[in-house]
Amino acid sequence: MAIRRRRIESLVRELLTTYKVSAAPVPVERLAKAHGARIFYQSLEDDMSGFLYRDNASAVIGVNTHHAPVRQNFTAAHELGHLLLHDQEQLHVDHGFRVRLRDDVSSQGTDEAEREANLFAASLLMPKEFLEADLASEESVDLLDDGLLCDLARKYGVSTQALVNRLKNLGYIQE
């Protein structure tokens, strides 16, 4: 069940460099557009996070406006990840990202694709280098400080939970 971490990291770095993104928040919509995908924010069924529809010429990313803005950001980045990393069916629908992982009917391949899209989204929204710079500029970093975490999460347009997960992944917070 290995996911392509290196590939995802280098893809994200390439995107940020190509489109000269050097500070948070990362403009997911602009990056998607550059890859021929338009993002539509719309009212979808509650259990649906978003979807990716594509044909040969173009792609459409749908994001459910019933969910919090930080989740909408994550969904948009997740779908962009599918677009750039996966050759899936024409219409790919995402329900709650976590629920799917417990779904034993889904194939291993699908789980990997979901995990890769999640890793892509976290890496894109919270680039390693940006976090490093932000944390280096802090006089002393106390990652158990809710205030600091909230400020950072707001800056990156993510939930504090997503931020904490990312910081754990990068080794800033010990499990």
User: Footprint of Zn ion on residues 108-127 (CB under 5 A)?
Assistant: 114, 117
Question: How many Cβ atoms sit within 10 Å of the Cβ of residue 47?
Answer: 10
Task: Tell me how many residues contact Zn ion (CB under 5 A).
Answer: 3
* Integer Cα distance of 115 and 110 in angstroms: 9
User: Footprint of Zn ion on residues 79-98 (CB under 5 A)?
Assistant: 94
Shortest spacing between CB 100 and Zn ion, in angstroms: 8
* Integer Cα distance of 114 and 3 in angstroms: 10
Residue nearest to Zn ion as judged by C-beta position: 94
Which span (106-114, 119-127, 129-137, 163-171) binds Zn ion, by CB under 5 A?
Answer: 106-114
The answer to whether residue 149 forms part of the interface with Zn ion (CB under 5 A) is no
* Integer Cα distance of 172 and 175 in angstroms: 10
Alpha-carbon distance values, 101 to 4, 24, 34 (Å) = 17, 29, 31
Taking the least distance from each CB to Zn ion, the nearer of 118 and 126 is 118
In the complex, the residues that contact Zn ion under the rule CB under 5 A are 94, 114, 117
